[in-house]
Structure 1
Amino acid sequence: MDVSRYLDLFLEESMEHLQTLNLGLLSLEKDSNRLDLLDEIFRAAHTLKGMSATMGYDPVAQLTHKMESLLEKIKERKILLNQEIVNTLFQCVDALEKMLLMIREGETPELDLKNLLKKLNNLEKSQVIKEVEQERNKQKSPPKFQQEELESGFNEYEINVIHEALSKGFNVWKIMISLSPDCLMKSVRAFMVFRNLESLGEIIKAVPPVQDIEDEKFDREFTLFLVSKEESTEIEQALNISEIAIKSMEKVKVKKSKGSVPHKPIKTKNKTQFASGKKHQVYQTVRVDIGRLDKLMNLVGELVINKTRLEQIYLSNDWRGLHETIEQINHITTDLQMVVQNVRMVSIEQVFNRFPRMVRDLTKELGKEVDLILEGKDTELDRTVIDEIGDPLVHLIRNAIDHGLEPPKEREVSHKSPTGMLKLSAKHEGNQVSICVEDDGRGLDVEAIRCKVLENKIVTKSQLETMDEQAIVNLIFESGFSTAKVVTNVSGRGVGLDVVKNKIVALNGQVSVETKKGQGTRFLIKLPLTLAIIQALLVKVQEEIFAIPLVNIDETTDLEPKKIKNIQGQPTMVLRGKVLPLVYIKKILEVPGDKEAEELNVVVVQKGKQKIGLVVEDLIGQQEIVISSLGKLLSGLPGIVGASILGDGTVALILDIGTLFWEGISCGESIYSF
């Protein structure tokens, strides 16, 4: 069994627990009396500790164990929560995230946790209320453990866990498991053992390590150490599994001694590295509602039935039955496509939940007050889109806080609330998802943009004179653009909004901006629900077939070549009284051929409020297509986002409208007044 599959599940669940910790701490920072939040934070830390200990990541387990101890004392009102404790717990969450990212990259999670652990220890001791501390001093000191125990199979962390479990009345069981000689899939049986035992308590140690067990790098036996309140009878029932036998089961006892245990750092290098010593591929996973899987299975069953019908029709020459079966298969494949698409859908909540902590840290760093509003967190998107949209949203939120929202004093001068508003929302609009990032800050300074684009030679003065205000505002998406007067750690280095645009364009999406001086700025992102299957218009350029995503198309029209007018070097046409810039697909993509058409077709595409016309020879028609990647050799082709194999075997290249749009209007003296 491939450990990478379990590793991905561990990482995914661990990141969810980190989000729970972050969101819980943010809420607890505002209201320290919320016991329900304390319980939620404590459970997240406890679960993360158990998972990481089972996987053999001791540094993660050690840190979460210390967090858990501190949180437990806060729950019991033995420690008063203050800002120092909250800040320290946030530092712990950051350290945990770094270690999990190291694990994802196949590295050993080795961070210098000495200072952080020391800070947790000091907080746990120094913050204890005096009366409670005096009472505790009267009690018998906790037992010390012999150094020999550390060298006989348990490390210091495991010793502490065992002591804590015993002091709270738990049993610590050492269970030796034996597999039958004819067991073919050892790792599957081992997984069943882990699953059943974890329902009874917490597995704190496995010999050999979990990775070796899952890789079947053991003979027929392995040993587990289980912390549980259950007795032997319940454990025996849980292990009543085919091809599994309990070779021995006994309670663990730790010897006491008068001496103390010297600090010994935990070495995890050998334990956490994979046996091959190489980085394993981490598989992407999607959690699926069982109802969707049931429907998927039913549809597959219907396909099997129709496959059998086709075989019978072939033998009997039943052409009427063939027509009916083809119709039935058509309906099934349509339903199957929808179900599979729904299976890939993931809530955008997991992206949105990253931002409250980020906003909290940025506002403290910049001395601003911001109220973050999140709407539409249950909106679903394709998993691929979810994975890619996070970074663009980070850029937009950081820019809004750094550039858009004013400091409290400046807001009061403008008769605004000292606390700025930053709203992040998502909603479905047909086959698209609309994501909006909106603030009530100072808005964009159009005059500053004019000066900066001329200074950076993004456009010429003559081009600038032909642009309306919206077109000038759109120049903030150009590479190297920044109006920041001071370069900060947050933004202002000329990297940001062009990255946002390029990322969203690569996702077949669109981004637009609206702003009002003194009132705020609104960025609107539109993305397709899925990147796998889209509706497209097939067009012909010379002898080549191209596909234009339907979501980008505003309308189509025909055009006589003699009606094309050149304005400042840019070919244009007049459409309902407005000038429309034209882009020749043949020229932009350098399509070979010299065929001249008497009448051209124009596909009008739109990005935000701007439109251009793509000139093609023929319109073939609308069709649903499956997007395939171009592969390594062709992936760098400008203006092409993918390919699709049509029903007759012809390959159609899918146009990257975003790239063509920006390349097209930059040819010659661009016309922006449309």
Structure 2
Amino acid sequence: MAEGFDNDEMKEIVQEFLAEAQEMLEGLDNFFVQLEARPDDTSLLNEIFRAAHSIKGSAGFIGLTRIVEVAHHAENVLNQLRQGMMKAEPAVIDIILEAMDALKLLLEEVHTGVQADVDIDTLTMKLDLLLQWGEDQASSHESTGPAVPDSEEAGMVVPPEDPEESETEEPAPPLPAKVAEIVSRDPSPAVSSQPSPSASAQTEGAAPQSSGVEVDQTIRVETSRLDNVMNLVGELVLGRNRLVRLATDTSGDEDWEKQQKDIAEAVIQLSRVTTDLQLAVIKTRMQPIKKVLGKFPRMVRDLSRKLGKEARLELSGEETELDKSVIEEIGDPLVHIIRNAIDHGLEMPEERLAAGKSPEGVVRISAYQEGNSIVIEISDDGHGVNVDRVRRKAIERNLISAADADRMTTEELVNLIFLPGFSTAEKVTDVSGRGVGMDVVRTNINKINGTVEIRSQNGLGSTFVINLPLTIAIIQALMVAIGDEVYAVPLQSVVETVKITESDIRTLSGAEVLNLRNQVLPLLRLRDEFKIPGEANESAGKNRYVVVVQLGSRSVGLVVEALPYQEEVVIKSMGPILSGIRGMAGATITGDGKVVLILDVGEILQDIQIRGHQGVSAVSR
């Protein structure tokens, strides 16, 4: 379908329509969830109607007839809701949301040129039956107030003349038999079973895969931020001109010391402007996290209805900003965590009542900035993690040995749910049970230099704490040396550095450890890990350095031979050939022109944990 737009100007109009329509539909998902809780909110109904009408009008201008047809039928139903001819009960919202999902797939059809698997005839039949049901309701009793004209203007809703009378109306009759039968048989027969763009990676059975839709390569930036970048570029040009003049000045009129002083001042000024420019460019890439969180109210609503549970989602800190690349990567892990909270965390309504809780469970997501990191907490008020069950399942699946389990703390046992293949589900469903979801969470978060851990209290619920960098392109790194080799360790994961001698290292269960303030810290010699040729001086008096790194509750000491310096580095990909090397997150070029590999602390700690059967395991600090 997209191939039909040959004119460049028309292509630009279509792309603008796709971006705006997708944004509107994502917002509508959230609006409909709110509408279920506040069915008489006229301002919300007006907002929903205007969005649907805008999509229909713009699609009609471009000539997208399939989108117009679905939007028109949905708009008719929405207009009845505005006029009070029907109530926004869950079964009604189900059908309207199905239409919204169909519109998302039709937008994808325009974008990719591949026809979407949407049965428009079935969908419009359901919407028409719903429309007829609303008209039958309206004609069966006298209206309590003047009907709102079917206008395509701004659309103000006229309230009933007597609110008390409207509250005492007889209950609305059930949905028509044909619609009820279709809904009960298959909630979404008109829409393909493939995941929609707004619900990617909601199936736990596999790691997130490319959907075939191009990732959005555009970003909206405030003009003031671009103005700031432009001003700084101007200062950068002035600084460059100053340095060029000083470097090419051969007049010899000025003495050498004065020239050196001028060059030093120009370099300092250039450094200051470069730092400011770096921060300004990072800000242009920042987006509010609500871009990701906006799709979750709909997901919580649908999943809780499917599982027969009552759940409410509470959001806070939606304006917290993250780098666009981090925003793109964090969506799938959050989907898995929220699905896990509803499926495994929240109890059934009768169980909650028996435990003295409200029948409605609550899932809370909060985001806030803490130093140079962004923290996202996802908590639920369910029954918490059953530590004994986790221990038993981990041993049954040979993920840990019984001896390892006896040595582990409660916190370590709880965090075993992140191991590949772990699941406490008794049977596999389309929601959970394959032991992939939490592994995907940790893998994806580690990939962007973040950390995740879980805190749980029996009977009170669980909290997932995700710690993310503000940006993943530029990081502070600690340089460590082993012989002539230099590596970069992301400073965010470094807790401290300790100077030791060989005599301070002990052996426990065949593994080297360090007694650090009465805590047993497992050690890893990077020389041995990376098989660096040559031998270090092993004399008892030779100094060593231990870089203590931590990811969540796990810590390990990296034994190195020197700590040359600390530097801000730009992460570069090592390309497809070298990208699969374990323990390496990328590479960078340092100030002296050398290429230095950046360590992936998450993978190093994961490898150590997997070696737990040989007695090497990360110990909680």
Q: State the TM-score, normalizing by the size of structure 2.
A: 0.81
Amino acid at match of 2:604: L
Partner residue of 1:329 out of 263, 266, 270: 270
Secondary structure at the counterpart of residue 312 of structure 1? helix
For structure 2, the residue ranges without an aligned partner over 5 or more in a row are 1-7, 143-149, 154-211, 251-258
Q: Deviations over 1:133-176 (max 9, x none)?
A: 999xxxxxxxxxxxxxxxxxxxxxxxxxxxxxxx9899xxxxxx
Separation in 2, partners of 1:585, 1:517: 39
Amino acid at match of 2:543: E
Secondary structure at the counterpart of residue 540 of structure 1? strand
| Most deviating of 440-449 and 541-550 | 541-550
Counting only pairs closer than 5 Å after superposition, residues 485-564 of structure 1 correspond to structure 2 as 485-564=426-505
Amino acid at match of 2:549: V
| Most deviating of 417-426 and 311-320 | 311-320
Separation in 2, partners of 1:412, 1:603: 50
Aligned-CA RMSD value: 2.4
What does residue 669 of structure 1 align with?
615
Contact 2:315 2:364 in 1 (8 A): yes
Secondary structure at the counterpart of residue 575 of structure 2? coil
Q: State the TM-score, normalizing by the size of structure 1.
A: 0.75
Separation in 1, partners of 2:515, 2:321: 40
Does 2:217 align with 1:284? yes
Distance 1:370 1:80, change over 3 A: closer
Distance 1:447 1:281, change over 3 A: closer
Larger Rg: 1
Contact 2:585 2:599 in 1 (8 A): yes
Q: Deviations over 1:46-91 (max 9, x none)?
A: 2222343445543223211221232234324455554443221011
Amino acid at match of 1:508: N
What does residue 547 of structure 2 align with?
603
Superposition deviation, residue 8 in structure 1: 5.4
What does residue 592 of structure 2 align with?
648
Separation in 1, partners of 2:98, 2:213: 29
What does residue 314 of structure 1 align with?
247
Does 2:240 align with 1:295? no
Separation in 2, partners of 1:301, 1:569: 61
Secondary structure at the counterpart of residue 620 of structure 1? coil
Separation in 1, partners of 2:366, 2:509: 41
Amino acid at match of 1:538: M
Contact 1:435 1:526 in 2 (8 A): yes
Identity %: 40
Count of residues paired in the alignment: 535
What does residue 416 of structure 2 align with?
475
Separation in 2, partners of 1:590, 1:103: 53
Secondary structure at the counterpart of residue 327 of structure 1? helix
What does residue 131 of structure 2 align with?
124
Distance 1:410 1:130, change over 3 A: closer
Counting only pairs closer than 5 Å after superposition, residues 337-486 of structure 1 correspond to structure 2 as 337-486=278-427
Secondary structure at the counterpart of residue 114 of structure 2? coil
Q: Deviations over 1:105-160 (max 9, x none)?
A: 4523452211001111222233215666999xxxxxxxxxxxxxxxxxxxxxxxxx
Distance 1:80 1:485, change over 3 A: closer
Contact 2:521 2:556 in 1 (8 A): yes
What does residue 582 of structure 2 align with?
638
Contact 2:605 2:618 in 1 (8 A): no
Separation in 2, partners of 1:603, 1:309: 42
Distance 1:4 1:449, change over 3 A: farther
Counting only pairs closer than 5 Å after superposition, residues 110-121 of structure 1 correspond to structure 2 as 111-121=118-128
What does residue 28 of structure 1 align with?
35
Distance 1:291 1:362, change over 3 A: same
Superposition deviation, residue 531 in structure 1: 0.6
Contact 1:466 1:672 in 2 (8 A): no
Secondary structure at the counterpart of residue 546 of structure 1? strand
Distance 1:464 1:616, change over 3 A: same
Distance 1:169 1:98, change over 3 A: closer
Distance 1:5 1:492, change over 3 A: farther
Contact 1:625 1:646 in 2 (8 A): yes
Distance 1:39 1:92, change over 3 A: same
Contact 2:39 2:87 in 1 (8 A): no
Secondary structure at the counterpart of residue 424 of structure 2? coil
Separation in 1, partners of 2:152, 2:606: 69
Secondary structure at the counterpart of residue 612 of structure 1? strand
Superposition deviation, residue 594 in structure 1: 3.2
What does residue 56 of structure 2 align with?
49
Counting only pairs closer than 5 Å after superposition, residues 258-277 of structure 1 correspond to structure 2 as none
Amino acid at match of 1:294: D
Counting only pairs closer than 5 Å after superposition, residues 138-149 of structure 1 correspond to structure 2 as none
Amino acid at match of 1:334: T
Q: Deviations over 1:540-584 (max 9, x none)?
A: 123222111111000001221232222112111111121110012
Separation in 2, partners of 1:385, 1:650: 28
Distance 1:589 1:4, change over 3 A: farther
Separation in 2, partners of 1:79, 1:485: 42
Does 2:71 align with 1:61? no
Contact 2:80 2:134 in 1 (8 A): no
What does residue 657 of structure 1 align with?
601
Counting only pairs closer than 5 Å after superposition, residues 582-593 of structure 1 correspond to structure 2 as 582-593=523-534
Distance 1:333 1:113, change over 3 A: same
Secondary structure at the counterpart of residue 633 of structure 1? helix
Distance 1:587 1:665, change over 3 A: farther
What does residue 614 of structure 1 align with?
558
What does residue 223 of structure 1 align with?
none
Separation in 2, partners of 1:339, 1:562: 49
Amino acid at match of 2:294: N
Contact 2:608 2:617 in 1 (8 A): no
Superposition deviation, residue 31 in structure 1: 2.0
Separation in 1, partners of 2:579, 2:610: 23
What does residue 199 of structure 1 align with?
none
Separation in 1, partners of 2:228, 2:57: 35
Partner residue of 1:38 out of 23, 45, 62: 45
Secondary structure at the counterpart of residue 638 of structure 1? coil
Distance 1:613 1:130, change over 3 A: closer
